[in-house]
Amino acid sequence: MAIHLAVEEIEVKVQNTVSSIDLGTELDLKYIAKKLKAEGADYNPSKFPGLIYKLKKPKAAFLIFGTGKLVCTGTQSERDANYALERIIKKLGKIGIKLKSPPKLKVENIVASADIKRQIHLEKAILKLEGANYEPEQFPGLIYRQKKPKATFLLFRTGKLVCTGTKKLEEIYKAIYEVRRKLMEEGLFL
């Protein structure tokens, strides 16, 4: 996917979508782990209270909790997350777990990367961007918490960035457009 900013095109790539699901019923994780062990279900309650189950297509990982709540991570779109949810629901159905109603997936966070193709003066940016944090001895990127639209960025000198904290693709585009506009307005490009 690409967005056009002024005359420059910025390629935006979704790296991860994190979603939550409530199945509306309690789950016996020991039973599920036993039935899905051959398919890679991992349950070790002394280390983590949830069962971990990974799908290859679409690539997704589920954290399944006894409360019936699930977290789906690793997908690259809401569509992929919904498809992964359909697959896990079918697998649970095959081992005898019935649901009262179809669960709904809620996107909690989208992580995307982009390259604005202009080098950023990070030392100046820390002084000009409210909510920025930059400690190059510890991490090469500047952390910028943008207020409108709300998003958190990792900005790198090369012009590459990571955007997180949004729940919709449109919000990512708006946030990246706004951070680029702010960098340009403040004269922070090298």
> Do the Cβ atoms of 168 and 108 come closer than 8 Å?
no
Mapping DSSP to helix (H, G, I), strand (E, B) and coil, where does residue 54 land? Answer: strand
| C-alpha triplet 123, 120, 147: angle, nearest 5° | 85
Q: DSSP code of 189?
A: B
Q: Which two tokens stand for residue 120?
A: 């950023």
Query: What pairs with residue 7 in β-bridges?
Result: none
pLDDT tens-place string over residues 108-166: 999 999 999 999 999 999 999 998 999 999 999 999 999 999 999 999 999 999 999 99
Q: What does 117-171 look like in DSSP terms, one character per residue?
A: SS-B-HHHHHHHSTTEE--TTT-SSEEEEETTTTEEEEE-TTSEEEEEEESSHHH
pLDDT of residue 100: 86
Looking at residues 28-48, what average pLDDT do you find? Answer: 95
pLDDT tens-place string over residues 91-107: 999 999 999 889 999 99
Which run of H or of E encompasses 115? strand 105-115
Looking at residues 57-74, what average pLDDT do you find? Answer: 97
pLDDT of residue 7: 40
| pLDDT surpassing 80 at residue 5 | no
The pTM (predicted TM-score) of the whole model is 0.88
The radius of gyration computed from the CA coordinates of the chain, to the nearest angstrom, equals 20
Task: Name the nearest CA neighbour of 167 among 39, 81, 84, 93.
Answer: 81
Q: d(Cα 152, Cα 165) in Å, to the nearest integer? A: 6
